[in-house]
Structure 1
Amino acid sequence: MSAKTDKLLSILKLQPVVPVLVIDDAGSAVPLARALVAGGLKAIEITLRTPAALEAIRAVANEVEGAVAGAGTILNAAQFEEAVAAGSQFIVSPGTTQELIDVANDHEVPLLPGAATASEVMGLREEGYDVMKFFPAEQAGGAAYLKSLSSPLAGTMFCPTGGISLANARDYLTLPNVVCVGGSWVAPKDLVVRGDWAGITKLAAEAFALKG
């Protein structure tokens, strides 16, 4: 197992649920991240789906004690470079391209590449990846599908993301090939808009309790 894989696993094993955030207002990033960390969720994925994303990553990386800021929805080398420059400690992609693999090889920051089929998993294993994002989890076959991959593709670990909630997270977390899940339910848009940070800390604590 490579040093980068070790680094990635050490981040993903911090908690059972990695919050997947879409941040519209960079000003909310720091209080939101502090609320999540207070609930036990230290590794935080901020997706590059909004113009505020890079500023949000930079703020969380610099200002939130205990937070491990990561960047999600990375689609190409340029975004990878921007996310690393902003302070991302891990990079997440919904799928995988050779361009992403090549840029990841040039950096110490680990990549969690996306895969949804056995062939994609096998291709990533050939590139030296043992830890992947299973996306979109529910739409791609859910926990039953992922369980069926555990025997033929033994030794591969997944962070399923997409359609996962408090109601079905345990279905994934009990699988032998799942290290954690990604979820947006811990930071609902209405609570963020209202600035209900205590409410988000409560949701984060519920998610962290899934570890048991």
Structure 2
Amino acid sequence: METASYLLFSILDAIAMVVLMIKSYRQPLAAYKWNVLFICIGVAGWSYAVRVVVGLSPYIDIFGQFLIFAAFFRYSLKIRLVYSGLMVAVGYAAYVCIQFPIYFAVTALGVSDVVAQNTGGNGVIAIQFFTDAASLAVGWLITVFNYGFTFIVIPPHDLSRKEKLFTGTNGMLAISTLAAVAIITTSLFLTVHYDAALYAYPLVLLILGTLYFLSRRRESEDDRVYITKNGAFHKKVRS
């Protein structure tokens, strides 16, 4: 029963994160639904194997999830590497930002005072359920109000072209993506070992804000190019 519960909520966690990743950049989620389901099952299996079967550190689990998601966007959906990493970083950071207030509420209610270290139990299930529900609601709101960025072209991208990973705004996005991995891992470390979630939360908010700012900047660059080429600006709306 515990195994089934762990896998089920891990799949739901992964789906919620992918929804945030895709909707934040106005990619067509419905077109990828089976790909998304497959990779989410794979991520859940990875997490279970690492944390429950082998008993390795949750940091290895998180790092592996980043790599799996990035590889999924790059090789399955054919999205350029810098944008694949960006989407994963933004979605993961947004998910963690949603999760922290729920974590504070659950621990304040005394459901579990060591929930960050657990792989099961009422506290973990409560946090996962409410975080997933809130994340899916955010994804829905992004769609309803037509938010999100459009500078990432709907794939498949031309992957034969060499990417300029560390130049201009793309370079800052790439560096910030790597920083997001480090900060999210650090936030988990602070929460688990020092019960310092209150101090870890601002770090995640900071990196999410940085990625948002750089995405806005990249969006503005695309807008200027469009205006220069077309002489007028008519924003393309994506569902």
TM above 0.5, yes or no, is no
TM-score norm. by structure 1 comes to: 0.27
Which has a greater percent of helix?
A: 2
TM-score norm. by structure 2 comes to: 0.25
Which has a greater percent of strand?
A: 1
Structure ID, larger Rg:
2
